[in-house]
Amino acid sequence: MDIKEIKLLQKNNPDLKIRELKNDKTNINTIYFESLCDSDSINDFLLKPINMNTIKSINDIKDKIPNGNLKEVTDEKTLFECLYNGFTVIEIKNKFLSFETKFPLDSGISEASNEKVIKGPKDAFTENYQNNMGLIRKRIRSKDLVFKEHVIGTTSKTKVSLIYVDGIVDKKLVNKIEKKLKTMTMDYVANSNYITENLNNNNYMFPTNLMTERPDYVGFQLMEGRVAILVENTPQVIIIPAFFSDFIKTVDDYYQNTKNVSITRIIRVLALIISIFTPAVYIALTTFNQETLPTSVLINFSIQRGGVPFPSIVEAIIMWLTFEILREADTRIPFVMGTSMSIVGALVLGQAAVEAGLISPIMIIIIAISSVASLLFNDNDMVNAIRIWKLLFLLLSAFVGLYGVFIGLVLFIMKLCSMDSYGFDYTDPNAPFNMQAQKNNIILTKKYKLNKRNPFLTDNSNRR
Amino acid sequence: MKKIIIILIIILSFTGCYNYKELNKIAIVSSIAIDKKDDKYLVSAQVMNAKQDKESESSQVVVYEAKGETINGALRNMTMKAPRTIYGGHLSKLVISEEIAKEGIANIIDGFQRLTEIRNEFTITIARNIEASKVIKIMTSTESVPAEYVKTSLETADISSALTYSTKLDEFASLYLKKGIDPVIAVIEVDNYEKKGTTLDNTDTTDPITKIVLGNIAVTNNGKFEKYLTKEETIGYNFIRNQVEEIVIPVKCDDKYYASITVLKNKTKYKVAKVNNKYQIKYFINSNGVIGEYDCSDELIKEKVINNLEKKAEKKIKYYINKALEAQKDSKSKFLGFERNIYLNYPKYKDEEYEIKLNVNLELSRKGELRNSSKGAKKNEY
């Protein structure tokens, strides 16, 4: 390891700076990445003290320079690790020492953009790993809060830390996840999704983990006995395990009146049912089981269907596809162009299609209510899973009517019951029914009554 | 799981969409009329004419007619005339002409029961003094679909006046098959039939030229039409069969004027006993009512006056029932179902003599407030 070798690297790394200083006939080299370091702190806390003191060896620097985070560098590997992490390396007579002069390369703590709450804390995770850790530690001030750090990514060297509260968490779950994190081989970790995909052997359409950008929710779930995974450069934290019933709950359920929340949760369950079943039931009733509809409703539907050239199922699939295209466009489009798109979507595709006689108005209502109902769930994976099941039900009902809808229902329940989330039943606490866990299921009871933790997640320290 | 889904999709697609019918490809039949012409059935079907443009001046219903040796055959022949498939899942009314009803209603009902698509819930009616096909051609004003008009007016008359009784297909079939009782059916009459009554002109005026009027009930014997009942006999029949929900009974309260008693609740129970080797059915008719109207000068505050009214109303109910009893004596029909009532209690019963005893009890509700009533209260305010 030589300073000359490092100087060679400057060719491919234009932001690698090497500054030579002379202090009492001693040559001092400071090496740092301009793009990762804060030049102010280098000037104030490294270069200034070096100038003001007499420095003869590396030990003088250790003694005289006031800097909190210091690392000794002994080999090439640690040298580069330090450089890439925003450290400044000082070389004296081929001996190296590094100081942290990291520049915060990310937006500051801001409001959560995807999980909005009316009441409750507004801060959200950022891309900064240290900040995110701090946001969690701020909420659980206990020595039992454990951060187990792993470095994943042979090239990217991303820090991933497994967070849990010792004494509450199920140790088996921690060991299982830890084992997987250790054996994970990837060259690059871009997002927390890279980790979850590798943690989970099964590729389910329904999400088996929660992703949140809210530190208060992570704190709540850690105290429930779940495990969180914090990935560097990702503003979303993974919470493991997640059950199907977790997706009808939101963060700010716990910040509102419990009775109102219970009603809201019932509405969410209804919305789930509506979003999956309405198109299928409509198709089944109007093309197979017309005798089940009241006469006046049948006449009404029949009048609206008059003149529509396509079979109902084609009509439904066209509308469903249109809505999905609009939704996808809406997430990708820059904010400024959003209004023009909504005009095209609402007016041209909706109203004009009806007036042209291509689509019946009732079909627009059916697809709209079912699509809007599916948007109640803020997890994107959940919305997409509902979308696929909706289509499956639609096809089944188009072939055999209500009979097909019930076949689909059986398949749906079979699928949900056969799923597992990191070794836990996905339908907990409903399918292996647990009375105690019902206190925070669809009906939410007052917090003082929630004196026991979820019995599936914790076995030793059940009581709060 | 994937395999199951794939297999299911393949299997289901082999069904070829069994029973699939698009809404705008079917003709929804609201009522069917059956006549006889040249020894063949003439079946007319009233089809709801679902059009997108509601403001158009065309009528909401169309009537198709077809002949056939059987009703089923006639319905099949109808497809030659109607552009859409005839769909009977929403049939609400069947009109039978008197001529066919005399030949037998039961065999027609049988034909309808065998049709898979047809709903078992439609009302059976008989067209009095008119061809059945003409009845379903008349345009009605309040309900745009004439079948709905008849259905709703039958239901209201049934509930609020006990002047008729609508028998549905299921009930007709089950009563027909039972021993000792015969079903009755509702009667439809047409007031002043003219060709103009079948056009939209009939709905444009406040006083339609041609009107559909509900009659009382018709009695059947062994699945065949026997005779019509009068208004009084119908009320008596409804009292005996415990089918009265609401009824207004006019009662004479002095020499000249009338009062009307509105019965709001009625419960008819019966008890069968064998007294001196003779069967005896005791009917207990318990009614609750209020005074609906009072034209006499007696003060209503007096208990005696009210008791008097109650007694008179009870007498009137007895009168209605006795009329119905007489009507049954004159015919072979067993529409009041006495034999069945005895049979249910004494299974060994075989067409022997029996005796009917009536016990009518009407109670006028005395609780309540009189507000702004001009009759019956003392004149003590200026």
Q: What is the pLDDT of residues B178-206, one digit of tens each?
A: 888 999 999 998 888 888 888 777 777 78
Partners of A302 on chain B (C-beta within 8 Å) are: 23-24, 26, 28, 48, 50
> A293 to chain B: nearest residue by CA?
B90
For chain A, the structural domain boundaries read: 3-100, 129-242, 255-425
- pLDDT score of B136 more than 80: yes
Nearest to A133 by CA among A161, A112, A108, A158: A161
Tokens at B135, concatenated: 């009845």
Q: How confident is the model at residue B237 (pLDDT cuts 50, 70, 90)?
A: very high
Q: How confident is the model at residue B5 (pLDDT cuts 50, 70, 90)?
A: confident
> Over chain B, what is the mean pLDDT?
84
The strand ranges marked E within A139-182 are 145-152, 158-165
How far apart are the two ends of chain A, measured CA to CA in Å?
55
CA-to-CA distance for B246 and B249, rounded, in angstroms?
10
Rounded (10°) CA dihedral B270, B274, B278, B282: -20
Longest dimension (CA), chain A: 102
- Predicted confidence at residue B180, as pLDDT, reads 85
Residues of chain A with pLDDT below 70 are: 1, 105-107, 459-462
Rounded (10°) CA dihedral A136, A142, A144, A145: 10
Percentage above 90 pLDDT, chain B: 16
The Cα-based distances of A52 to A45, A48, A61, A96, B334 in angstroms read 11, 6, 12, 20, 125
Rounded (10°) CA dihedral B191, B194, B196, B202: 0
Which run of H or of E encompasses A229?
strand A227-231
The Cα-based distances of A223 to A142, A170, B338, B352 in angstroms read 11, 12, 76, 84
- Predicted confidence at residue A161, as pLDDT, reads 92
The residue-averaged pLDDT of B236-256 equals: 88
The residue-averaged pLDDT of B332-338 equals: 88
Which run of H or of E encompasses A368?
helix A361-374
Q: Do A396 and B12 touch (CB under 8 A)?
A: yes
CB-based contact, A308 to chain B, within 8 Å: yes
Residue A358 DSSP code: S
Q: Do A399 and B12 touch (CB under 8 A)?
A: yes
The DSSP result for A65-105, as a single string, is: ---S-EEEE-SHHHHHHHHHTTEEEEEETTEEEEEE-B---
Angle at B87 between CA B92 and CA B111, to 5 degrees: 70
Strands B93-97 and B26-37: parallel
Q: A237, A218 in Cβ contact below 8 A?
A: yes
Q: Do B8 and A295 touch (CB under 8 A)?
A: no
> A308 to chain B: nearest residue by CA?
B24
Q: A276, A385 in Cβ contact below 8 A?
A: no
- Predicted confidence at residue A215, as pLDDT, reads 92
Q: Do A286 and B23 touch (CB under 8 A)?
A: yes
- pLDDT score of B294 more than 80: yes
Fold of the CATH domain B242-364: GMP Synthetase; Chain A, domain 3 (3.30.300)
Nearest to A233 by CA among A170, A297, A152: A152
Residue bearing tokens 């005395």:
B366
- Predicted confidence at residue A217, as pLDDT, reads 92
Least CB-CB distance to A287: which of B15, B21, B50? B21
- pLDDT score of B130 more than 70: yes
The beta-carbon contacts of B248-255 under 8 Å, at least 24 apart in sequence, are B248/B161, B248/B292, B249/B289, B249/B313, B249/B316, B249/B317, B250/B316, B251/B309, B251/B312, B251/B313, B251/B316, B252/B312, B253/B294, B253/B295, B253/B296, B253/B298, B253/B308, B253/B309, B253/B312, B254/B296, B254/B297, B254/B298
Please state the φ and ψ torsions of residue A112, each to the nearest 5 degrees. Answer: -65, 130
Three-class SS state of B230: coil
Partners of A287 on chain B (C-beta within 8 Å) are: 20-23
CA-to-CA distance for A455 and A437, rounded, in angstroms?
7
Cα-Cα-Cα-Cα dihedral sign, residues A320, A322, A328, A334: negative
Three-class SS state of B61: strand
Three-class SS state of A382: helix
- pLDDT score of B382 more than 60: no
Q: Do B1 and A290 touch (CB under 8 A)?
A: no
Q: Do A298 and B28 touch (CB under 8 A)?
A: yes
The nearest CA of chain A is from the CA of B379 a distance in Å of 53
Tens digits of residue pLDDT in B45-60:
988 876 655 555 556 7
How far apart are the two ends of chain B, measured CA to CA in Å?
88
Q: Which residues contact B202 (CB under 8 A, 6 or more apart)?
A: B138, B139, B140, B141, B196, B208, B209, B210
Q: Per the omega criterion (within 30 degrees of 0), is the bond before A241 cis?
A: yes
Task: HSE, CB side, 13 Å, CA atoms: give it for residue A117.
Answer: 22
CA-to-CA distance for B75 and B66, rounded, in angstroms?
7
Least CB-CB distance to A311: which of B22, B26, B54? B22
Tens digits of residue pLDDT in B12-48:
767 666 778 888 888 888 889 999 888 899 999 988 8
- The residue type of B137 is K
Tens digits of residue pLDDT in B196-233:
888 777 777 788 888 888 888 999 988 899 899 999 99
- Predicted confidence at residue B53, as pLDDT, reads 53
> A298 to chain B: nearest residue by CA?
B23
> A309 to chain B: nearest residue by CA?
B24
Percentage above 70 pLDDT, chain B: 91
Residue B28 bridge partners (DSSP): B48, B87
CA-to-CA distance for B138 and B141, rounded, in angstroms?
10
Nearest to A390 by CA among A270, A274, A245, A269: A274
Q: B241, B182 in Cβ contact below 8 A?
A: no
Nearest to A389 by CA among A377, A405, A372: A405
- Say what the pTM is: 0.81
Q: Do B92 and A400 touch (CB under 8 A)?
A: no
Q: Per the omega criterion (within 30 degrees of 0), is the bond before A429 cis?
A: yes
Probe site for chain B from A299, A354, A397 (most B CB atoms < 10 A): A299
CB-based contact, A417 to chain B, within 8 Å: no
